[in-house]
Structure 1
Amino acid sequence: MAAVPVDVVVGLLGAASAGHPEPDGEVRELLSGSGLPEQDVARISAEVRRLGAGVARWRRRGRELSALFSSARELAQLRDVDELLSRLVERAHDLVGTDVTYLSEFDAHSRELRVRTTLGTVAPAFAGLRVPPGMGLASMVVEGRRPRWTSSYDAMTQAPHESGIDAAVRAEGLVSLLGVPLLAGEEVIGVLFAANRFEHAFSPDEISLLSAFADHAAVVLQTARLLERTQAAAEETRHAYGELARHVEAMERASGVHTDLTSLVLQGGDAGEVATALGRALRCRVSILDENSAAKNPAVRQSRHSGRCVATGDGALAVAVVAGSALLGALLLEEGEVEFGPVERRTAERAAQITALLRLKQDALAEAEQRVRGDLLAELVSGDPDRLADIADRARARGIRLDELRSVVVLAVPADRQRQAARAARRAAALVGEHAEHVVALTEDRDPEVAGRAVHAVVREALGTAVLAVAASVDDLPSGLGTEVEAAGACARALPALGIADAAVTTDEYLPYAALFGPGNTRVAAFVRRVVGPVVDWDAGHGGTLLPTLAAYLGNRMSPVATARALHVHKNTVLQRLDRVAELLGPEWQEPDRVFRLTVAVRLARLSDGP
């Protein structure tokens, strides 16, 4: 038996530890002088080759484990789940060295997998790919909770194919695939895939390496998810505490407003003080809209029907002030330092109710005051000496100095609108009341024309309809007001027959009518009858042409030619009709005084319903 020198043995061990894939040449060179048989040399070479392969494998395994633990430490430092998934796929791609690496997330409720993160893909449809339960290689990994692979996807028979998955795999050009589960205890949270665009039989080392990495990654991913949930729960808790604190603060504000509003009701406050208290509590600007402005606001109209605050579209809130079906106005809140939440809205609605209560109280007091003032006006109009004895003192007690009132305005409005007209007239007059079929207002204006226009304007705007205002001067208060009111009322009754129904006039402008007709509509009919009665009777029995002809003649400066043109008849026809008028009214019917009275009577007869 040949002896092998120690140096040769040491050389053989060095060749084995070097891990060369083909150490035969070096072994034969070392044993060339040993005298060993060829078969022993071959055996030694095979053993050195085997030892070298093992050494290379363990060295590679060491590097892989080092990279694995390094990646695990890096992943453990990440907290954002999306960033963690991206880095996880990136590290797996570097470790295994395949063409494509991707991670599919598992939904325990739908049992569906969805591609969440990819690296190395080129087809846009691959990202977000959904794998139905029981389909494809991924479902086998989930169901078996262990690695699955195939060297040729098209030839794979162990898992059922699905058309959508097959199309995505073909579009990406994937051929060989390896999938390992991401396990958190017994729960599958996803599948990590390594894939090549060529046929490849995955080695046990590759499968083991990717599985080991997946085990580390699953722990880190599950920890990150739990941490994210914990942070989300903590954030929700902070948010809930914040909401609770805001709610408590809002309730404290609401309680303070309620106390302030209660005090206002007990102390007789007004709407302005309610707005001030509400604005102070909610730290915002609060405006008060009157009835007319509120009625034109769409948000207020909606609030009126719902009874709730309504957003105006520019960050503000509107809440109607209503009493029954009556709109009394509205509160307009412009958002300031405090966000308008449910408590703030309810607070504003409560303030609107208090405002309505105060308005009703104020209106009741105002109505009582106006009834007293109306009584004063009625006594002035009556002219009764007994009732006028101390009226100046009683008026002064109400803040009215009768000797300063210089004009009276009589308003002709429908009976059902008189109260509304009287309420509006108080804005422009010192003393207002209802008398007979008219509303009477006394003002301090020395010019009755100015007084009439001012009262007419406010009442016309409030009623939104035609209003006739007749004004007259007042000089002898407090001795009485009957004569002026009588004259203005007579004028107001006569003017509609003259086509004047919406104007502000004075009795001086229409003095003849006031003087002619005085109080009572029956005098108008008697006047018409007395002046043109024969003409009216003739028309009643002969076709009704004389009165229209007479009206046209008087209206066209007593010109037969102009009258014929206006009536579209021949001039001779007009002359014949005027001859008949002369027979009926007498030969002096065209004298100036007769013409004036005829003009008035004909206009009244034509514009009214008749005598």
Structure 2
Amino acid sequence: MTDSIPVGIVVDLLQAASAEHEVDVDELLAGIALRDQDTARVGYELRRLRATSDRWRRRGQELAALFSSARELAQLRDVDELLGRLVERAHDLVGTDVTYLSEFDAETRELRVRTTLGTVAPSFLGLRVPPGMGLASQVVEGRRPCWTSKYATMTQAPHDSGIDAAVAAEGLVSLLGVPLLAGDEVIGVLFAANRVEHAFSPDEISLLSAFADHAAIVLQTARLLARTQAAADETRRAYGELARHVEAMERASEVHTDLTSLVLEGGEAPDVATALGRALKCRVTHLDTDDLEDTVAEAVDRSRRSGRCAPAGGGRYAVAVLAGPTLLGAMLLEQGDVEFGPVELRTAERAAQITALLNLKRDAMIEAEQRVRGDLLADLLSDDPDRRADVAARARARGVHLDELRSVVVVSAPAELRRETVRALRRTGGPVGEHADRAVALTTEPDPAAASSSVHATVSRAVRAPVLTVGASIADADADLRAQVAGALACVRILPALGLHDAAVTADEYLPYTALFGPGEARVAAYVRRVIGPVLDWDAEHAGRLLPTLAAYLGNRMSPVATARALHLHKNTVLQRLERTAQLLGDDWQEPDRLFRVTVAVRLAHLTKSPSAKGDQ
């Protein structure tokens, strides 16, 4: 037996202690006579040195992987991509079944699962952890790693039913969570989990914690860079917006200068459109009320109500040219090189106001001329012979030849739109004016129906409201104009009672009605009283409905069934009312001659009672 070991064997033993593969100690010491206890002692020390060497080798590999991961993560700038890569690297380092990262919300104190690797349950991603619940909250509150080898029996943190269900669905058993710390601020929790019971070693906890420390710094840096980039983008956007606003204000100032010059130099509406188009680098069209197509007309109506530019489709905007409630036209802007913003649209609205002023100035001159022509029309319709004296000569002096006038058109429009109606009628070229609260126009059109239709179309486009026009022929303006206008006025009064509120007709079409409602209306009332007076008195005294029933009966071919259906009554009720009518008018009221007179009287009674048959529409 010997206590000494040759140097060569010692070297072999030391190399065995650091070798990556297992070495047989007994084989190395076979040629040396050592006591058994010495051989066992050498073997024990060799194994201890080997375990230490393995541990340091593994730690070196882990540190190398850790630094490599840190360098890779530091190169990423997109936060979402960084979170995904962070979880992926942690998964490779620790080697657990599942790795995931929960982001901490400092305002709500909640944790939300942002990124996972190895999960199978779709509900796990996005899982929210309420404040104070589960292992994750314990990590946040303690700012230290926390773990459990068996989550189901964990007692160190309160359970939440939603979290427990998600963990069970994923099949997780053991969990290790480490905080992501940026200074004193917790920005999240990094988890490593297994689907089997597992006691996490200090080395595993230390490794994941070290990785989390590096990852937190990188993640916080990426967030700060993202915020800085967002702030820089917002600053650039604000500077760009400011530059555009300054440019728009310069264009607006240029337009203002040009428009001021136009007003002072006597420019007209098309000149305003040209100046506006030049400043806004777009096409601007000035439209009269007759030029408004359907799509543009709708936009002009919206602009008219709001006083602002209105989209007209296809990158176009329409702005109404208004003088109070009166529509004088519109301006249509088509998108060009300059994007339409608030300043550009306000500039267009001011240009529309200038256009309205120029139109009013032009119209004032035209109105002065038309006022003279209106006076001619008033003289023609006057009963005073002195006013009609030499009217033909005065008309010729104004360029109006009475012998060329062939039609007169009476126009009924809402009272508040009468001025706009007269403005529209001036485009017909003949004498225009107001008479008996109606607008009247004389034309050279020989066909009164065509004249009525033309005037109706012109006025309807201008006022965009229901309009009634009644045309009549005139052979001699000085001789028969008053009679024809009187007949047309009577026709205008009676048309609403006949259900017409927006139409172009001639007086001859409704000659029977105009004959009755012309001079001598008192005789009509007397006729009605004489024929059906008892029925009218009964209705007045008993708040009855005999007259409407009688009208419906005559209008439905004297059929009680049809009458009952029209009045929504029972047939017996209609028969009872007809029986009462027979008692009042006599049993022979349905004889042919008597029935004709009763029918006329009932019709006239309805027309005279209609509020629309008298006065304005």
SS of residue in 2 equivalent to 1:4: coil
| 1:117 aligns to 2:115 (yes or no) | yes
Alpha-carbon shift at residue 244 of structure 1 (Å): 1.1
Deviation digits for residues 518-546 of structure 1 (CA, Å, limit 9, x no counterpart): xxx77x799x99xxxxxx9xx89x99xxx
Alpha-carbon shift at residue 167 of structure 1 (Å): 1.4
SS of residue in 2 equivalent to 1:154: helix
CA distance in 1, matches of 2:157, 2:199: 17
Q: For the Cα contact (< 8 Å) 1:2–1:36, is it kept in 2?
A: yes
CA distance in 1, matches of 2:285, 2:489: 47
SS of residue in 1 equivalent to 2:152: coil
CA distance in 2, matches of 1:239, 1:192: 37
Equivalent residues in 2 for 1:292-307 (5 A)? 297=297, 299-307=299-307
- TM-score, normalised on structure 1? 0.73
Deviation digits for residues 356-385 of structure 1 (CA, Å, limit 9, x no counterpart): 333333332222111123345567886889
Alpha-carbon shift at residue 291 of structure 1 (Å): 8.2
Q: For the Cα contact (< 8 Å) 1:460–1:466, is it kept in 2?
A: no
SS of residue in 1 equivalent to 2:151: coil
Q: For the Cα contact (< 8 Å) 1:408–1:484, is it kept in 2?
A: no
Partner of 1:355: 355
- The change in CA–CA distance for 1:244 and 1:269 in structure 2 (over 3 A counts) is same
Segments of 5+ residues of structure 2 without an aligned counterpart are 535-588, 598-603, 610-617
CA distance in 2, matches of 1:458, 1:125: 68
Partner of 2:3: 2
SS of residue in 2 equivalent to 1:126: coil
SS of residue in 1 equivalent to 2:267: coil
- The change in CA–CA distance for 1:304 and 1:472 in structure 2 (over 3 A counts) is closer
Deviation digits for residues 110-158 of structure 1 (CA, Å, limit 9, x no counterpart): 2221111111111111111112222222222222222222211122222
Deviation digits for residues 300-350 of structure 1 (CA, Å, limit 9, x no counterpart): 444444333344566544444333344444444444443332222322322
| 1:108 aligns to 2:106 (yes or no) | yes
CA distance in 2, matches of 1:376, 1:318: 39
Alpha-carbon shift at residue 83 of structure 1 (Å): 0.8
Alpha-carbon shift at residue 236 of structure 1 (Å): 1.0
- The change in CA–CA distance for 1:437 and 1:67 in structure 2 (over 3 A counts) is closer
- The change in CA–CA distance for 1:154 and 1:430 in structure 2 (over 3 A counts) is same
CA distance in 2, matches of 1:286, 1:188: 63
SS of residue in 1 equivalent to 2:432: strand
CA distance in 2, matches of 1:118, 1:439: 81
Partner of 1:272: 270
Deviation digits for residues 464-521 of structure 1 (CA, Å, limit 9, x no counterpart): 44433333346xxxxxx63353564576589899999964479xxx9xxxxx9xxxx7
| 1:90 aligns to 2:85 (yes or no) | no
Q: Which amino acid aligns with 1:15?
A: A
Alpha-carbon shift at residue 190 of structure 1 (Å): 1.4
CA distance in 1, matches of 2:261, 2:128: 67
- The change in CA–CA distance for 1:301 and 1:12 in structure 2 (over 3 A counts) is same
Q: Which amino acid aligns with 2:346?
A: R
Alpha-carbon shift at residue 49 of structure 1 (Å): 0.7
Partner of 2:14: 13
Alignment RMSD (CA, Å): 4.7
Q: For the Cα contact (< 8 Å) 2:488–2:507, is it kept in 1?
A: no
CA distance in 2, matches of 1:213, 1:52: 27
SS of residue in 1 equivalent to 2:102: strand
Alpha-carbon shift at residue 99 of structure 1 (Å): 0.7
| 1:482 aligns to 2:484 (yes or no) | no
SS of residue in 2 equivalent to 1:217: helix
Q: For the Cα contact (< 8 Å) 1:412–1:438, is it kept in 2?
A: yes
Alignment length (residue pairs): 532
**Which residue, out of 178, 186, 189, partners 1:188?**
186
Alpha-carbon shift at residue 288 of structure 1 (Å): 3.0
CA distance in 2, matches of 1:608, 1:115: 82
CA distance in 1, matches of 2:368, 2:294: 27
SS of residue in 2 equivalent to 1:430: coil
Q: For the Cα contact (< 8 Å) 1:428–1:454, is it kept in 2?
A: no
Equivalent residues in 2 for 1:516-595 (5 A)? 569=591
- The change in CA–CA distance for 1:145 and 1:450 in structure 2 (over 3 A counts) is closer
- The change in CA–CA distance for 1:440 and 1:484 in structure 2 (over 3 A counts) is farther
**Which residue, out of 135, 152, 161, partners 2:159?**
161
| 1:204 aligns to 2:205 (yes or no) | no
- The change in CA–CA distance for 1:418 and 1:470 in structure 2 (over 3 A counts) is farther
Q: For the Cα contact (< 8 Å) 1:429–1:441, is it kept in 2?
A: no
CA distance in 1, matches of 2:303, 2:195: 68
CA distance in 1, matches of 2:53, 2:437: 124
SS of residue in 2 equivalent to 1:467: strand
Q: For the Cα contact (< 8 Å) 1:181–1:192, is it kept in 2?
A: yes
- The change in CA–CA distance for 1:345 and 1:425 in structure 2 (over 3 A counts) is closer
Q: For the Cα contact (< 8 Å) 2:412–2:467, is it kept in 1?
A: no
Task: Name which one, 1 or 2, has greater alpha-carbon Rg.
Answer: 1
CA distance in 2, matches of 1:437, 1:243: 56
Between 230-239 and 139-148, report the one with greater CA deviation: 139-148
SS of residue in 2 equivalent to 1:246: helix
Partner of 2:371: 371
- The change in CA–CA distance for 1:158 and 1:274 in structure 2 (over 3 A counts) is same
Q: Which amino acid aligns with 1:470?
A: A
Alpha-carbon shift at residue 43 of structure 1 (Å): 0.9
Partner of 2:428: 428
Alpha-carbon shift at residue 436 of structure 1 (Å): 8.0
CA distance in 2, matches of 1:496, 1:132: 78
SS of residue in 2 equivalent to 1:114: strand
Partner of 1:288: 287
**Which residue, out of 209, 215, 219, partners 2:213?**
215
CA distance in 1, matches of 2:174, 2:608: 107
Q: Which amino acid aligns with 1:104?
A: S
- The change in CA–CA distance for 1:123 and 1:406 in structure 2 (over 3 A counts) is same
CA distance in 1, matches of 2:156, 2:123: 25
Q: For the Cα contact (< 8 Å) 1:2–1:34, is it kept in 2?
A: no
- The change in CA–CA distance for 1:81 and 1:378 in structure 2 (over 3 A counts) is closer
Partner of 2:252: 254
Partner of 1:51: 49
